[in-house]
Amino acid sequence: MSDEQKPAVEMVDVQIDGEWHQFPKGTRMIEACRQAGRDVPHYCYHPKLSSPGNCRMCLVEMGMPPRPRPGEELKPDEDGHLPIQWIPRPAIACANTVAPNMGIRTDSELTRACRHGVMELLLINHPLDCPICDQAGECRLQEFSVEHGNGASRFRENKVKKPKNVAIGPRVRLDDERCIMCSRCIRFADEIADDPVLGFTDRGSHTTLAVHPGRELANNYSLNTVDICPVGALTSNDFRFQMRVWFLKETESICTSCGRGCNLTIGGREGEVHRLTPRQNDAVNSAWMCDHGRLNFHYLNSELRLTDPLIRGEAGHETATWAQALKTAAAALAGFGPNEVAVIASGRLTNEELFMARQFAAAVKSEFIDIVPRLGEADDYLAAADRNPNTLGAKLILGLENPGAGLKSIRDGIAQGRIKALVALQENLVDDAGFSAGDLGKLEFLLATYPLANPTAEAADVVLPGAGFAEKRGSMINLTGRLQRLNRAHAGPGQTREPWEILRDLIQELGGGNGIYRADDVFAAMAAEIKEFAGLKLADLPADGVALLDTGETVPLLDRERERKAKGVIVG
Amino acid sequence: MATIVVKRPKLKWWEKLYLPALIGGIGVTIRHFVRTLTGRTKVTMQYPEEKWNDHLPEWYRGAPALVTDEQDRERCVACQLCEFICPPRAITITPEEIASDDKWAKVEKRPREFEIDMIRCIYCGLCEEVCPEQAIFLRQEYAITGTSRAEMVHDKKKLYEIGGKRVGLVNKWNALK
């Protein structure tokens, strides 16, 4: 759907701060200014939501050609532009669209005075909470206060008291004194999450954001309201008081909690993930993500993390070096004949890791390789039924028709004694793949990699600590067939290694050198073998990924967004 | 170039003997000796039993410490600005939420743990300068010793012990804001 196929949109000339630009008819003034490099400060405007125009921060000076007197003709200048008559009252840039020959001043005396006044009014009742406010450091009110504010308050009365620290839902906390009544959260709950439980009560400076009596903001997308809140009125219970935002190192990655692959930013500090926030990608997740995916990172900071390779000795598992563990594993695996070893990979592995798993299966001469399917419930928004983030990658790279179909034959093989050794890559076979402890007990050798201690690791002869999603680099293919990259926020704890590294070293121990040093090398090897990846490079993948396969999968939330955009309700 | 010609003093014959000066010098020594013996002058400070404290100015930059206010509320709200500004990264703060049944529940946040590594601290005073709550001050404590690295880390208890109570500061958390 390229732009050329659509009917040509009429372009209008607009003067912004003295320079003439061209924009398609219907462009909002605020977007026109942004495209012209003159950002207009705003609170209530959000491109994915309707524009009520209630914060007044985006007021700009606007002008149109004057209406000529009867018989008079306006004389265009040499470029064909008519003279502009500036309107003495300012206009909001967020809800008005550009018009032919319109003039906008984003830095005039009137505009500056408007911003100054709006800031002063917004700050009148705002508490001096910044030292304890989680938003401090990424707060629009702080930023615009520095840019457009007064520096000192002229307000000598007592500030209005409002409810503080109110639990409006299981995951969201509200501080009404900090609220600036932008209504973004109300519109999000109503328009995007279809859960209109928020609203304003009372009037004037007593206006209070409240949740409907007897209801709570409990939907699976509630934490997005915390993201879009320009101030610290809505804070996340999970992230509250955990870490100040200016300490967080931000890494662009993707969510691995389901097949949607929502784009996100990992906020981490010194080897610990503190929060995940959605990153805009209009082809995947718009600007949102679900609460489940957003909070599904705490296991990375768990006390159950495996930090060292373990080898089973006479007195249980003993800590070993990587060299010892790899040597022990390879020596054991080399002792089995063809098809006596089975490999259970995971739909949570990256393409690179799956490719190495395929190489590894070939190195141990095994045809038994499969992934563990993981099915949940899809909702009508973003969450997909397939809870594996890279099922398509597994299908493509491992050549699986029906992922999970081979698990039964592996279990039967173990029961009948045909399969004597098992390699579980980042999967907990006992809890997730339907293996019983008895199945695993029949094995002569079990190798397990996983970030956490689990029953499979307990039964394993060699346990290798594999990195979690924030600790590895690689690519995944989401359900719409989009190839997206995970970036490494930090190294895993202790001796943790990325699964592709573990597999590379195992293959090397089994006698195959491969010249692979980085995840990028694995991708290059993969691109040379699998035609879908041909011509791509891991490092060159754009931040929002590339469309790789055509699966016909649609995202309900994005469909609705497109509809609303076509109607002109949102900018999109 | 300008030069200064120094004229050597012309010594008398008895001055050239040096003996009168020598005797005079011994006299001074004997006088000090006698005054010290009889306790009339005191030149040795009995450190560490005796400290410099009385001689230190009010603005002396010693060990940083946390203070409580008149109502024994810990002033620190764990905003972590000092941790951010600290040039040698000596400060580590773990924040926590104040329980809703606490008297100061409306402050919402306080440090669960506040550690200053005194091996790292360079006594620059930036933490005191950046603090928006007037909670951390450089005190006159200068003799920081310990027998291990762990002992040189001041924890929250120790910091309040050094800091004590400070009165007369802004109390923005009181009833009226």
Residues B71 and B40 in one domain: no
Residues B38, B83 within the same domain: no
Q: Which of A3-7, A107-111, A353-357 has the lowest mean pLDDT?
A: A3-7
Query: What is the domain-level CATH number for residue B80?
Result: 3.30.70.3270
Q: Is residue B31 domain-shared with residue B99, that is, in the same domain? A: no
B69 and B38 co-located in one domain: no
A315 vs B23, residue with greater confidence: B23
Q: Tell me what pLDDT residue B171 has.
A: 87
Report pLDDT digits (tens) over A378-409.
999 999 999 999 999 999 999 999 998 999 99
CA trace torsion A129, A130, A131, A136 (10° rounding): 140
Q: In the prediction, which pLDDT does B176 show?
A: 61
List the domain range (segments joined by +) for residue B85.
64-170
The token pair at A314 is: 């006479």
Which residue spans within A83-227 are E strands per DSSP? 85-86, 91-92, 102-105, 166-167, 172-174, 198-201, 208-211
Out of A127, A158, A240, name the one closest to residue B97 (CB).
A240
Q: What is the pTM of this model?
A: 0.89
The answer to whether position B107 is within a domain reads: yes
Domain membership of residue B54 (yes or no) is no
Q: Which two tokens stand for residue A100?
A: 């032919």
Q: Complex ipTM, two decimals? A: 0.86
How many domains does chain B contain in total?
Answer: 2
Q: Residues of chain A whose C-beta is under 8 A from some C-beta in B?
A: 127-128, 130-132, 136, 158-159, 164-165, 240-242, 244, 246-247
pLDDT digits (tens, 9 = 90+) for A46-88: 999 999 999 999 999 999 999 999 988 888 999 889 999 999 9
Residue at token pair 């007369």: B168
Residue B99 counted as domain residue: yes
User: At a CB cut-off of 8 Å and minimum separation 6, what does A143 contact?
Assistant: none
Report chain A residues whose CB lies below 8 A from the CB of B79: 130-132, 136, 244
CA distances from A524 to A349, A426, A515, A533, B66 (A): 17, 23, 11, 9, 56
Same domain assignment for residues B109 and B149: yes
Chain B positions touching A162 (Cβ under 8 A) are none
Nearest CA to A474 out of A390, A365, A359 is that of A390
pLDDT over threshold 70, residue A1: no
For A408, phi then psi, to 5°, come to -65, -45
The answer on B96 and B19 residing in a single domain is no
B79 and B140 belong to one structural domain: yes
Domains of chain A, first to last: 11-118 (3.10.20.740), 134-139+151-241 (3.30.70.20), 310-553 (3.40.50.740)
Q: Please, what is the Cα angle at A546 between A350 and A375, to 5 degrees?
A: 45
Residue B59 lies in a domain: no
B58 domain-assigned = no
Cβ-Cβ contacts under 8 Å, A159 against chain B: 177
Of B78, B108, B176, the CB nearest to A165: B108
A439 SS3 class: helix
Let me know whether B31 and B77 are in one domain. Answer: no
Distance from C-alpha of A384 to C-alpha of A389, rounded to nearest angstrom:
10
Residues B33 and B68 in one domain: no
Same domain for B72 and B19: no
The mean pLDDT of A13-39, rounded to a whole number, is 95
Q: List chain A residues with CB under 8 Å of B100.
A: 165
DSSP B120: T
| Residue B8 lies inside a defined structural domain of this protein | no
| Torsions phi, psi for A241 (to 5 deg) | 65, 15
Instruction: Provide the mean pLDDT of chain A.
Output: 94
Predicted local distance difference test score (pLDDT) of residue A3: 47
Residue B31 covered by a domain: yes
Mean pLDDT of A232-255: 96
Residue B53 lies in a domain: no
Q: Kindly give the parts of chain B with pLDDT less than 50.
A: 177
Whether residue B160 sits in one domain with residue B83: yes
Q: In terms of CA atoms, which chain B residue is nearest residue A133? A: B79
The H or E element spanning position A123 is helix A109-124
B22 in the same domain as B102: no
Beta-carbon-side half-sphere exposure of residue A335 (alpha carbons within 13 Å): 10
Label residue A5 by pLDDT band (50, 70, 90).
Answer: low
